[in-house]
């Protein structure tokens, strides 16, 4: 199930004894864990004695097993979280797999992993009903998620403003959440529209995104690298720049699918909501770009994302190499 299915189950009072949260969207996972904590331990004063955190790279199975087998303190349930579960040594994971098959009903054990190898005994032992996937939401779901997030804070985010946020800030949930918060603060009221989003993201940034789009679709490495350097110098986060690049590759793929399906240029223009000059370039490149090249481009983006998140010493170098690969084809 996805994170939203998990939250709905939580609202209905359904809590499994063991969960595996897996996927790259750490914001969605962290917020889901916050809801789980509130559900299991509504009294904040009882959270410290009834909640323990472990890390797969640092801890062995023994202290984790000791924690999950303990009794709750003045509470019905305990919560034990194991982050970076994919980094647990195989032998330690096997010991935990034995527990997972017969868990303590008064403890909720949560494993968090960016990836989960189904060949490992630990991950195989977790029932499908306890696996919660935190995958990227995608262009269609993100505006809906943003509007719901704003609504929970008592703010009406206009549909067109939510769509514009995704177009300008990319598809990473954590970055979008931050930009939404800025727009809400800037608006200073109960409604956020297109003008507030444009004001927060900045006219220069919007112009740079269109420049980057043009550089990529025309395979102009000089323009693409120049825009990225300008964005980084202006304080843009490397992951934010990468999100822009990945979004443009997915846009090219979507244009290729539309043309393959026989859509007319005017239909594509309405669906894409891009300037005519950008769309013309995108149509031309989509026609000469194979699905395999687009697939490899996205794979390169994922590779760079992993290196950026692991603390590469040269984020700028990683991004420039990516652009060379994408423009070279």
Domains in the chain, CATH or no CATH each: 3-133 (3.40.50.300), 141-201 (1.10.8.60), 203-328 (1.20.272.10)
228 in Cβ contact with 270 (< 8 Å): no
Element (H, E) at 147: helix 141-152
- Res 275 pLDDT > 60: no
Q: Is the pLDDT of residue 249 over 70?
A: yes
pLDDT band (50, 70, 90) for residue 278: low
pLDDT value at residue 157:
93
pLDDT digits (tens, 9 = 90+) for 184-213: 888 887 889 888 888 777 655 656 666 777
pLDDT at 227: 83
Q: And the tokens for 200? A: 């927060």
Assign 294 a pLDDT band (cuts: 50, 70, 90).
Answer: confident
Measured CA to CA in angstroms, residue 109 lies from 32, 60, 94, 277, 283 at distances of: 14, 15, 15, 53, 50
Please tell me the predicted confidence (pLDDT) of residue 21.
Answer: 96
Condensed to tens digits (0 to 9), the pLDDT of residues 63-119 reads 999 999 999 999 999 999 999 999 999 999 999 999 999 999 999 999 999 889 888
- Supply the pLDDT for residue 205: 62
Segment 6-34 shows an average pLDDT of 91
Residue 52 is predicted with a pLDDT of 94
In this structure, what token pair is assigned to residue 261? Answer: 């399906």
pLDDT in the model for residue 84? 92
Q: What is the mean pLDDT of residues 243-270?
A: 81
């Amino acid at each position: 199930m996805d994170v939203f299915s998990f939250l709905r189950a939580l609202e209905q009072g359904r809590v499994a004894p063991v969960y595996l949260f897996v996927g790259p969207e750490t914001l969605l996972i962290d917020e889901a864990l916050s809801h789980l904590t509130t559900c299991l331990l509504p009294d904040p004063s009882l959270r410290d004695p009834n909640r323990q955190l472990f890390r797969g790279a640092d801890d062995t199975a023994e202290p984790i097993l000791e924690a999950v087998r303990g009794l709750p303190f003045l509470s019905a349930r305990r919560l034990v979280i194991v982050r970076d579960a994919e980094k647990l040594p195989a032998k330690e994971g096997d010991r935990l797999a034995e527990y997972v098959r017969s868990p303590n009903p008064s403890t909720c054990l949560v494993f968090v992993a960016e990836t989960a190898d189904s060949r490992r005994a630990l991950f195989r032992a977790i029932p499908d009903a306890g696996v919660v996937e935190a995958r990227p939401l995608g262009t269609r779901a993100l505006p809906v998620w943003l509007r719901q997030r704003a609504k929970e804070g008592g703010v009406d985010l206009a549909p067109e403003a939510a769509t514009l946020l995704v177009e300008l800030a990319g598809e990473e949930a954590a970055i979008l959440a931050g930009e939404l918060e800025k727009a809400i603060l800037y608006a200073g009221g109960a409604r956020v529209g297109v003008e507030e989003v444009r004001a927060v993201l900045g006219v220069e940034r919007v112009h740079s995104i269109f420049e980057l789009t043009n550089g990529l679709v025309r395979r102009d490495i000089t323009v693409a690298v120049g825009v990225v350097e300008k964005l980084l110098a202006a304080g843009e986060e490397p992951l934010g720049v990468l999100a822009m690049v990945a979004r443009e590759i997915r846009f090219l793929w979507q244009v290729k699918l539309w043309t393959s399906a026989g859509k007319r240029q005017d239909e594509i223009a309405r669906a894409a909501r891009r300037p005519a000059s950008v769309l013309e370039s995108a149509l031309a490149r989509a026609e000469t770009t194979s699905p395999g090249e687009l697939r490899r481009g996205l794979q390169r983006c994922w590779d760079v994302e992993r290196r950026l998140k692991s603390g590469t010493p040269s984020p700028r170098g990683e991004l420039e190499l990516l652009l060379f690969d994408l423009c070279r084809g």
